[in-house]
Each structure stands twice: as C-alpha cells, then as structure tokens.
Chains A and B, each alone.
Chain A
Amino acid sequence: MGQIIPYIVNGVSVGGQYALIAIGYTLVYGILRLINFAHGDVFMVAGLVMVYTTTALPLYISLPLVLIATVVLGFTIERVAYKPLRTAPRMSVMISAIGVSYLIQNLAFYITGGVPQPVTKPIPWISNNVELFGGSTKMVTLVTPVLTIALVFVLVYLINHTKIGMAMRAAAKDFETAQLMGIKINSVISMTFVIGSFLAAIGSILYFTNYPSVAITSGGMPGLKAFVAAVFGGIGSIPGAVVGAFIIGLCEEIIKGLGYTTFSDAFTFALLIVVLCVKPTGLFGEKVTDKV
C-alpha cells in the first residue's frame, strides 16, 4: 500500500498541471472550434520567460512578469494569426495554428541557441522537499492540485456569474446569433485567449518548478496530453477538462508504476482514439448538431 501512494500523489499533481493547460484548449475550442496547436508552445514560452526573469529579477517582479508576458503572447497570437482568418475555411486556421507553433519553436530556438534552459533559481518554498507517508516529494506536487481546483472554481464563477462569462457562453452556443445580440465577439475571443494563457502561465510555473528544465519542445507533449484530456472530458466543458486531466495524469503514472514505461505516452493517444470512436462528446460534452 505504501508503495502506491507516491504514484498517486504524483499522478494527481501531473493531472493538475495538465488541467491548467487543458482549460485553455477547451475554452478556445468551445468558441472558435479550433485546436490551438500553439497553446503548448505558449506554455513553453512562459517557462522560458520564467527562467530568464527569475535569474535577473526578484520574485515579486518576475512572477507577475511571466503572467503578463504569457497573456500578451496569447492575445497577440489570436489577433495576428487567427483573427484575419475568421471567415476562412477551418483548415486554414488550423494550418495557421501549426504555423504559429512552428514559428514560436524556431524563434525560441534562435534565442536559446537550442540548449535546454535549466531553472537555476527555483521559487522557494514550493520547490522544497517535504516528507510524506514515509517518502518524500516536492512541495509543488502538493500545491498544484489544490491551486488548480481553486482556480477552476474562480473560473467557473466567472463564466456563470459575470457579463463577460455570459458573453462567452453565448458565443460558444451560437457564434452568429451572439454577434447579432450585440456581443463584441472579438473581445470575447480575446478574453478566452487571455484566460487560457493566464492559466497556462500558472501551469507553466508549477510544471517547471517541478521539472526544472525548459527545452523548446517542452510544450509539445504536455500540450498534446492536455488536449487529449480536454477531449476525454468533453471538449468545451471546463469541469470535463479538469476531470479528464486528473484521470489521464493518474493513469499515466500508474502505467509507469506497473512497468509499462515504454507505452506511457502511447497510452494517452490510444485512449484518445478510443474515446473519439466510442463517445466523441467525451464524459461531459454536450451533444452538438453539426452546422453545415
């Protein structure tokens, strides 16, 4: 029994990290019907900014800076790469998303010189080790799920009880009608990117405190897995994405613990294909009739 606990603790923590990224996917997909392929790279850039700012500046400046930089990046991406294509075929937007991801990675490469950047000044307290059930782990492992759930509650409140939240729900339900009702669709979309990037930045800070090395491809796998989590939970649904992320995080660590380490990534994708084929709407997704 004592042997299983570290895996579960770790799995929950991993799930929390995925959840913070998955919300970004699910919000954007809910409104734009677009897989924001660049979201994982935004996550990576947040990590890089953290590495650079924490080495140069004190924490109370550097951490807000990470959040601001990431939000600005997410906002800019939407304005530059997705907005001009709003009326274009869906494939064009997706290609644009892939192009942005390619661009961010190559620019990051140019700046870092292709060398993974270690986090040399980790954030104190959450990077400390703690004793837990006879084992030990990092504080951040315990902080992540708690913080994630707290943020999700705030977000759900925001969406259900504020004006902008209502606008977002309306836009997700019916894009055109929402416009007709006088909702400024562009600012709503920007808002979803801002929220998504903000959460990704927090996820990034937690993630790279736990695994302190940022490579230019660091965003790829967590990004894809978070997307799978969003699909698993039912894309468009925030609680779905969070539950999906926790399930995937747990499964992944348990599979590693059982010794099938070779297939820990492959499992996630197999799960994706199975979910898509058996229940494409996911756990909590609403049934959507396709608009022709």
Chain B
Amino acid sequence: MKRVFAIVLCVAMMLSMVACGGSKAPAAGDKVVKIGVFEPQTGDNGAGGKQEILGMQYANYVQPTVEIGGETYTVQLEIVDNRTTAENGPSAAAELINRDVSVILGSYGSGVSIAGGKVFEEAGVPAIGVTCTNPQVTSEYDCYFRICFLDPFQGTVLANYAYNELGVDTAYTLAMLGSDYDQGLVHYFKEAFTALGGTVISEDFPEGTANFVSYINNAKSNNAGVIMAPVSTNYAQLIIEASDAQGFEGSLLGSDTWDNNMVLESAQGKAVDVKITTFYQEGGNAEFDNGIKEWINANDDAKTNNGGNDMISAVTAMGYDAYFTALEALKAAGSIEAGAVMEALPGVSYTGVSGLIEFDEIGDAKRDAAYIKAANTETNNWDFVTVQGVN
C-alpha cells in the first residue's frame, strides 16, 4: 500500500512536470513578450499585492500589445506569488526567470523585493518596484528601478504635515515588530519630527496583535496629538476601531498602506480623523478612474480581489503605471532581450496617472510631492487635503 502510494505521488509529480512544460509553449505564429509580476497574493501583504496586480491586469486589458522594433508583440503577464515573506522570495523570483520574462514588476513590500532582487541581479533581468519604499531596494541592486517615493521622503512629509499643518508637538508612533517597512517609516518620521522640535513616543506591537486598546490609552496618557501608524491594512482597521472606542481625539496618520477601501469602511461613521499620504488621488484622472471601475465591475474575480467594491487604491494606479513604464522601456529597447530593457530603463520618461515617472541615477523615481488625503467618515470617500512636499 505504501509503495503504491509513493508511486502514485511520483506519477503525479511527473504529470505536473509535463503539464508545466506543456503550458509554457506559446501559441504559434504570435509574437509574445512576457512581463513578470512578482507580487504577494497570500500572506500579510496579500490584499495589497492583489490590488497592485489589478492595476497591471487592467493595463494589460487596455493595452494588450506593444510595438517593439517594428513588430507587434502580445504582452503576457506572468504572475507569481511570493507569499509576502523573504524566504519564499528567491524561489518565486527564480520561477519568474524560468518563465523567461523580459522585465519584472513588483513587489508590494520591500523585504521580499530585496530577497528577490538578488536572483534578478544574477539573471540580469530588470525589475520595476511599484510600491516598495525602502531605499535599499534600489541602492542594493542595479537591476532594480522604482516608480514610487521612498520612506525618507514619506516619513518627512508626514512629520512636516503633523507639525506644521496639524500643529501637533507630541506624536505617538506605532509600528509592527519585525516589519522593516513600519520601522523604517517611523525612523524617518521621528528624525524629521524631532528636528522640527517635536517629541515622539514610539511603541511596537507583536505580529498578530488584535487588541490595540492599551496602545491608544498609552497615546492618550502621553498627550499625543497624533498617532502615526504606518502599518498594514488589517492593523489600520483595528487601530481605527480601538481609537474610536477609546475616544482618542487627535488625528490618525497613515502611510500609503492605509490608502485602501477597507480602511475607509472601518472609519465610516466613527469619530476618527484619519489622514494619510499616498501616491494617487482618485479623481486625478477621470478616464482611468471610469475605465478601471467599469472593468472591475464587469469582472467578478477582480472585484473580489479589490475587496468587494470598485474603489481605486493608490497601489492599483501604481501597478497600472508600472505596466506602461515597462512597455515604454520595451519600446525604447527595441528588443525583448532583458539586457536591452535594462539599458533602456534609465532613459524612460512616462507620464502616468500618478504623475511623471523618471529615474535618477540610483533607479529611484524623481518625485517631490505626495498627496495627503482624509477619510470622510460620512460619504465613505477619501477627501483631498493637500499636496505636501518635504520643505
């Protein structure tokens, strides 16, 4: 019996190998260029990753072909799940390389991007970071480019806004233990906020925390005027809930991860003041907004992945822009050769829905402004507040 079982297992493996091999063959007579999507679809960042992919899928739907060197290629998205965590990064990255992609988009989350970047670098395939904001992603690898702003920028923007616009001099920060994204942003926020003359109280919570009541009480007893918590969406919802229950009167400051319809839903009808920084403001480009809403509403899977409604998150807009940036690079390279695309990328200039995208010498986008939005707890929408720079 045991042996039979082992044999059955082996046969299953073999079959699946054949299946993999079979599915790889492109349709005959059609020129195909593959764009790899290196995103988490599972794990802590699964929700964000899926929304980012939505942008790329919509872009692919809008523009399924590209002219490269005078020939029309069909663009095929190769989506591989990196499961959020660094230990699954290398194998997911290798899987993408194995599928022979010309350029890679992603990932949501910097840690896994850094882990995958090593493989991309060795393989010589360029990658465009969509919303990974840690400076090290691009500074570490030549192959990595990025279209969003960086943690030092975002942290400073938040600090300036809190100190100058909200007029707060004591801030309470909350970050998850073990999340380099949270901790990095808090670090830069603290640096900028104390430089302005404010006081910062920082606390961490362990992964999986659901009870934020005591944290809010700590903020209250320290007379903090603002709680700055650059945490992932799930924790953001819980913090909003606890803040409302405990009657915290200051503002909740969030980062780009808060730009999510789930956060809005939590804030609806509550006595909270939520302000966030982000890459894109819905309504910034009517054509894109209407188009993607229509597409999401017509597509059940897309709607589920977007959290059940058609509100557009900034990461979706960024995913959309990343796709077109990749197409620009392919056009400029005039070839689907990864090496050529890598050489063409630094010279790419593209105006997307989130603004002009150009790269500096490290490979980072030149961006000098972030949008500040406020959650409207009555209409369940984001209200535009201001465009904030670092100065």
Direct contact of A and B (CB under 8 A): yes
- Distance, CA A22 to CA B33, complexed state (A): 56
Q: Are B210 and A213 in contact (CB under 8 A)?
A: yes
- Distance, CA A129 to CA B42, complexed state (A): 34
Q: Are B241 and A212 in contact (CB under 8 A)?
A: yes
- Distance, CA A207 to CA B246, complexed state (A): 16
Would you call A210 an interface residue if the criterion is a C-beta within 8 Å of the partner chain's C-beta atoms?
yes
Q: Which of chain B's residues has its CB closest to A131's CB?
A: B247
The 4 closest A-B pairs by CB, nearest first: A114-B46, A211-B210, A136-B247, A256-B214
Residues on A facing B (Cβ under 8 Å):
3, 6-7, 10, 14, 109, 113-116, 118, 120, 129, 135-138, 141, 207, 210-213, 215, 217-218, 220-222, 253, 256-257, 259, 261-262, 264-266
Interface 1/0 per residue, B39-56 and A, CB below 8 Å: 001110011001000000
Q: Are B245 and A136 in contact (CB under 8 A)?
A: yes
Known contacts A215-B234, A221-B208; is-contact A115 B244 (Cβ 8 Å): no
Q: Are A264 and B237 in contact (CB under 8 A)?
A: no
Chain A residue numbers with a CB within 8 Å of B212 are 211
Chain B residue numbers with a CB within 8 Å of A210 are 211
Known contacts A118-B265, A129-B244; is-contact A218 B210 (Cβ 8 Å): yes
- Distance, CA A134 to CA B245, complexed state (A): 13
Known contacts A3-B221, A256-B214, A265-B206; is-contact A118 B247 (Cβ 8 Å): no
Would you call B161 an interface residue if the criterion is a C-beta within 8 Å of the partner chain's C-beta atoms?
no
The residues in B between 231 and 289 inclusive whose CB is less than 8 angstroms from any CB of A are: 233-234, 237-238, 241-242, 244-247, 262, 265-266
Q: Identify A257's interface contact among B46, B209, B217, CB under 8 A.
A: B217
Interface 1/0 per residue, B186-226 and A, CB below 8 Å: 00000000000000000111101111111101100100000
Q: Identify A114's interface contact among B47, B210, B242, B262, CB under 8 A.
A: B47
Q: Are A135 and B46 in contact (CB under 8 A)?
A: no
Known contacts A113-B46, A137-B245, A137-B246; is-contact A118 B237 (Cβ 8 Å): yes
- Distance, CA A259 to CA B386, complexed state (A): 35
Q: Are B211 and A14 in contact (CB under 8 A)?
A: yes
- Distance, CA A62 to CA B277, complexed state (A): 39
Q: Which of chain A's residues has its CB closest to B247's CB?
A: A136
- Distance, CA A256 to CA B212, complexed state (A): 10
Chain B residue numbers with a CB within 8 Å of A207 are 210
Would you call B304 an interface residue if the criterion is a C-beta within 8 Å of the partner chain's C-beta atoms?
yes
- Distance, CA A180 to CA B218, complexed state (A): 58
- Distance, CA A138 to CA B242, complexed state (A): 9
Q: Are B305 and A113 in contact (CB under 8 A)?
A: yes
Chain B residue numbers with a CB within 8 Å of A14 are 211
Would you call B307 an interface residue if the criterion is a C-beta within 8 Å of the partner chain's C-beta atoms?
yes
Q: Are A115 and B203 in contact (CB under 8 A)?
A: no
- Distance, CA A141 to CA B242, complexed state (A): 12
Chain B residue numbers with a CB within 8 Å of A257 are 214, 217-218
Q: Are B46 and A118 in contact (CB under 8 A)?
A: no
Q: Are B205 and A261 in contact (CB under 8 A)?
A: yes
Q: Identify A7's interface contact among B46, B214, B237, B307, CB under 8 A.
A: B214
Q: Are B203 and A259 in contact (CB under 8 A)?
A: yes
Would you call B177 an interface residue if the criterion is a C-beta within 8 Å of the partner chain's C-beta atoms?
yes
Chain B residue numbers with a CB within 8 Å of A3 are 217, 221
B250 to chain A, nearest CB (A): 15
Chain A residue numbers with a CB within 8 Å of B266 are 118, 212
* 25 A-B interface contacts by CB (under 8 A): A6-B217, A7-B217, A113-B46, A113-B50, A115-B307, A116-B47, A118-B266, A129-B245, A135-B247, A136-B245, A136-B247, A141-B213, A211-B210, A211-B212, A211-B241, A212-B238, A215-B234, A221-B208, A221-B210, A256-B215, A257-B217, A259-B218, A261-B204, A262-B203, A264-B205
- Distance, CA A266 to CA B177, complexed state (A): 12
Q: Are B213 and A115 in contact (CB under 8 A)?
A: no
Chain A residue numbers with a CB within 8 Å of B204 are 261-262
Chain B residue numbers with a CB within 8 Å of A264 are 205-206
Q: Which of chain B's residues has its CB closest to A249's CB?
A: B211
Chain A residue numbers with a CB within 8 Å of B203 are 259, 261-262
Q: Identify A115's interface contact among B47, B210, B246, CB under 8 A.
A: B47
- Distance, CA A269 to CA B109, complexed state (A): 30
The residues in B between 341 and 362 inclusive whose CB is less than 8 angstroms from any CB of A are: none
B356 to chain A, nearest CB (A): 32
Interface 1/0 per residue, B124-165 and A, CB below 8 Å: 000000000000000000000000000000000000000000
Known contacts A135-B247, A136-B245, A217-B208; is-contact A114 B41 (Cβ 8 Å): yes
Chain B residue numbers with a CB within 8 Å of A266 are 206
Interface 1/0 per residue, B166-193 and A, CB below 8 Å: 0000000000010000000000000000
Q: Which of chain A's residues has its CB closest to B47's CB?
A: A115
A52 to chain B, nearest CB (A): 12
Known contacts A3-B221, A221-B208, A261-B215; is-contact A113 B304 (Cβ 8 Å): yes
Q: Which of chain B's residues has its CB closest to A254's CB?
A: B214
Q: Are A135 and B246 in contact (CB under 8 A)?
A: yes
Q: Are B211 and A118 in contact (CB under 8 A)?
A: no
- Distance, CA A37 to CA B177, complexed state (A): 25
Chain A residue numbers with a CB within 8 Å of B305 are 113
- Distance, CA A113 to CA B203, complexed state (A): 31
The residues in B between 40 and 90 inclusive whose CB is less than 8 angstroms from any CB of A are: 41-43, 46-47, 50
Q: Identify A10's interface contact among B42, B214, B221, B241, CB under 8 A.
A: B214
- Distance, CA A141 to CA B282, complexed state (A): 38
